[in-house]
Structure formats: C-alpha cells, structure tokens
C-alpha cells in the first residue's frame, strides 16, 4: 500500500473532514477541533442523517478498538483514506476490508506496553499472594478474632508461561524475571533472539508452567484458544492471568474449572462480554477483577490519544504514518 497522497499538503481546514466514531482525550479532541472539521458520529442523534449529509467528505476516521470501525460504515465512506484508532488491538476494526480498499489503518502500539505489563504483574501477585482476601481479612475483623489468615503461595521459583511474546509479552517477561520466575512462551513462531523456551502448543506450555499469562490479540485465530484443555493442563495449583482479550479465553470453561477447584485462581482485566462479568466470577474470592484498564493511566492514555492525532496530522501533511497497522 502506498503512503498517504502528498497532494493533501496544501489542503485548508475547511477541506479536512474527520469523522469521530469514538472520542479520545479532551486535550487531543480540542486539537482535532482546531485543525479539522469534525463530524461527531459518537454524539449524533441520527447517525444515518449525518453520514448521508457528510459521508462523501470524510477522509479520516478517529475511533478506538473498543468502539470499533465496521465494514458497514466503511462502505458508506467512499473517500475515506485513514482510520486512526486508539489502542493496540485491531480486532474491532475491519482492517482487511480497509486494506482491500486502499484505506490506511493506524493504531497506538508501544506507548502502552509498560502499563499493561505492570497490570499483568499486579494481577499475578494479587492473585497468587491473595491480596484481596488479605485485605478483607483485616477489614472484616478476622485478624483480631481468628488470628492469621490461611497461608498463600510463593511466586519466586514458579514457572511462568506467556501466551504471546510480543512487545507487551516481552515487557511482562522482563518484570517477571525480577520476581524470580522461570519463563517460557507460546507463539506462532520461535523468536531466535529470545532465550526463553518456545512452545508451539499452548496446552503443552500450560502443562509445564504454574502460571499462564495471556497477552494475545483478539480475533478469529485466537477465539477461545484458552479453553478447558489448556485450563485443566494448568492444574489445581495453577493460575491464569489475562490482559490480552476476553475472547481468547473460553469464559464458561474458566468459570467451571475455577468452581470445581481444577484451577487455583485467576486475575482478569478483560472479559468476553464487557462490561458484563459472569456472576460466578464476581462471587469467587480466588479471582481478581479489573475493568479492562491495564493501559488506564493518565500518562499512557494521553500518549495514546496524541499518537492518534499525530497519525492524522501525518496523513494530512502527506508524511508517512507513524504507526501503520
């Protein structure tokens, strides 16, 4: 695919139409408002009327992977050239359809690696060391009445499997090393520059580790990849942490293995039907839950939103996109 057309360099604000499908941070929205003509699909009372009136003018779409960008909407924007999305994931975007039409797609990788990796380690430690039950033990007066709470598990020396050793997976591994974890990984191909053992079979990895961290993207290739066979392979002393996508884990299977004691615990930042979480998971004290907020810090969300804006600016200036998909 060619780079954005350089004849856009001389375009004025009045000629630069951007469709906002999903809003980003206020400061970056203000920057977009100052530079371009924004059409707020996210605020429209009648989206069909908005698209009918302005669809042919739209060159750029701003969205997020969570809000998404559909093939149906793509088909109604005949002059679209760029989809600039906040987030590293692309399973919510019709990427292949865009590419087939010559529409560029940009996302926001790298700037969120550290925060997501921190969340993975936080969930790992909170789950294995039973942080929340300990908090409740103190607050509920059990320490005074009953003495020390039951013992939990040690992290150091445990075997950690990482499903998906991409940028985020490597950041998780780097942190895990500091906690004395032995690391192995699952992926489609071996990475020769990495010293960790590689598995091309996820169940085999699960059988050989104590803790499995899922750092895989969503989409059809990974849909419910972590199902009963993988979860049971972790065993009754094993733990699951998911900071990838909720769709990667078979949620009913996870509930069942946790309920039956075939898995020791889980730390989850993502779910199959967000924001809806199965009541069974809400009721378990061996599960730590977060509201899909691994990248949810002020600093990182600012950097992600700015990268969305910078990719839009690159397109309109005729420069190469900073982070094309």
Catalytic entry in 59, 245, 251, 301: 245
Which positions ≥6 away from 279 have C-beta within 8 Å? none
In the annotation, is 274 catalytic?
Answer: yes
Of 153, 228, 292, 302, which residue is the catalytic one? Answer: 292
Among 178, 166, 184, which Cα is nearest to 113's? 166
For this structure, is 292 an active site residue?
yes
Whose tokens are 């050239």? That residue is 81
CB 240 within 8 A of CB 216: no
CA distance 116 to 150: 30
- Residues ≥6 apart with Cβ < 8 Å to 55: 76, 77, 78
Alpha carbon distance 4, 71 (integer Å): 21
Contact 124, 267 (CB under 8 A): yes
Q: Which residues, other chains included, contact 221 with Cβ-Cβ below 8 Å and sequence gap of 6+?
A: none
- Rounded to the nearest 5 degrees, what angle is found at the Cα of 88, between the Cα atoms of 265 and 227? 35
- Tally the residues of the chain: 325
The residue annotated as part of the active site, out of 15, 56, 177, 274, is 274
Which residue do the tokens 């769709």 mark? Answer: 247
Contact 93, 69 (CB under 8 A): yes
- Report the candidate in 262, 258, 251, 252 with the shortest Cα–Cα distance to residue 283: 258
Catalytic residue IDs: 245, 274, 292
């Amino acid at each position: 695919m060619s780079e954005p057309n350089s004849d856009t360099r001389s375009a004025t604000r009045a000629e630069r139409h951007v469709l906002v499908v999903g809003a980003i941070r206020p400061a970056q929205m203000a920057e977009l408002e100052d530079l371009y003509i924004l059409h707020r699909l996210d605020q429209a009372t009648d989206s069909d009327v908005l698209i009918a009136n302005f669809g042919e003018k739209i060159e750029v779409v701003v969205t997020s992977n969570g809000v998404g960008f559909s093939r149906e909407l793509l088909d109604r924007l005949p002059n679209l050239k760029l989809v600039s999305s906040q987030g590293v994931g692309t399973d919510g975007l019709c990427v292949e359809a865009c590419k087939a039409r010559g529409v560029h797609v940009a996302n926001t990788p790298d700037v969120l690696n550290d925060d997501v990796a921190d969340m993975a380690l936080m969930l790992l430690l909170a789950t294995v060391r039973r942080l929340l039950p300990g908090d409740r033990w103190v607050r509920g007066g059990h320490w005074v009445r009953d003495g020390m709470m039951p013992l939990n598990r040690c992290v150091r020396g445990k075997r950690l499997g990482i499903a998906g050793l991409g940028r985020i997976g490597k950041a998780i591994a780097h942190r895990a090393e500091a906690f004395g974890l032995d690391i192995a990984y699952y992926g489609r191909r071996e990475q020769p520059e990495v010293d960790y053992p590689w598995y091309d079979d996820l169940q085999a990895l699960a059988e050989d580790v104590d803790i499995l961290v899922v750092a895989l993207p969503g989409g059809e290739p990974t849909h419910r990849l972590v199902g009963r066979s993988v979860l049971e392979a972790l065993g009754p002393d094993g733990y699951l942490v998911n900071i990838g996508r909720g769709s990667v884990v078979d949620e009913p299977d996870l509930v069942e293995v946790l309920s039956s004691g075939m898995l020791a615990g889980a730390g989850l930042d993502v779910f199959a039907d967000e924001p809806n979480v199965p009541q069974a998971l809400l009721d378990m004290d061996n599960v730590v839950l977060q509201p899909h907020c691994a990248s949810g810090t002020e600093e990182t969300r600012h950097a992600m939103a700015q990268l969305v804006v910078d990719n839009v600016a690159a397109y309109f200036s005729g420069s190469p996109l900073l982070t094309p998909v």
